[in-house]
Amino acid sequence: MTTTFITGANKSLGYETARRLIEAGHTVLVGARDPERGQAAADALGARFVRIDVTDDASVAAAADDVRAREGGIDVLINNAGVLGTHSPADEITAADAREVFEVNVVGIVRVTHAFLPLLRTSANPVIVNVSSGMGSFTATQDPGRIEGRIVAPLYTASKAAVTMLTTQYAKSWPDVKVNAADPGYTATDFNGHSGPQTVTEGTDAIVELATVGADGPTGTFRDRHGELGW
């Protein structure tokens, strides 16, 4: 049975990803920072809760130790935890604002991946899915015909561009691990006041697809629910 660990899995895209993968036969570990919300989500899903704060070295190390002791290893890591950050205009953005966003969206992925990579390597088919965004795509954000081209969010977009590049570099570094980035698309979540036209199920299509790739599946790709996305 495939064992999957998902960060930020107590709500929205993370929760729906967990639900769908459990439905597909995975054993899912719900990672979340808030113990009450995380446990409630895990109970509702029929999953196991593992507390993890992706911004804290000790918390991430403890989560990895917990999984090592209980499951022995994992097959799939989904780096889903992320924040939008400040809504301030560009001329009011501070270094502190940047640190907050990048600490979760980028450094958090490095921190979690580093801690969980030994657990992934116990699998015959280790898979990493980094939840990125079309908002980090140079192609999409320069196209005025797309929603990504009409939104200005300097820190979030820059952090997601970094996530996608990090994905491609990890994929080159580890030929034994499938590492891909998923763009959920404009999905109705807390991030946008539930204004997105896609359902959370549609928003998790690419994540679920990439989480279930076989040993001959792709690596180093950036996909949304319709296929590969321009960088």
Structural tokens at position 164: 């996608």
- CB atoms inside a 10 Å sphere around CB 197: 10
Active-site residue, selected from the candidate residues 12, 133, 137, 159: 133
* Exposure string for 85-105, b = 16+ CB within 10 A, e = fewer: bbeeeeeeeeeeebebbbbbb
173 is an active site residue:
no
160 is an active site residue:
yes
Active-site residue, selected from the candidate residues 12, 132, 160, 178: 160
Q: What is the DSSP letter of 175?
A: T
Alpha-carbon separation of residue 155 from 107, 197, 202 (angstroms): 14, 23, 25
DSSP per residue, 45-113 = HT-EEEE--TT-HHHHHHHHHHHHHHTS--SEEEE----------GGG--HHHHHHHHIIIIIHHHHHH
SS3 3: strand
Residues recognised as catalytic: 133, 160
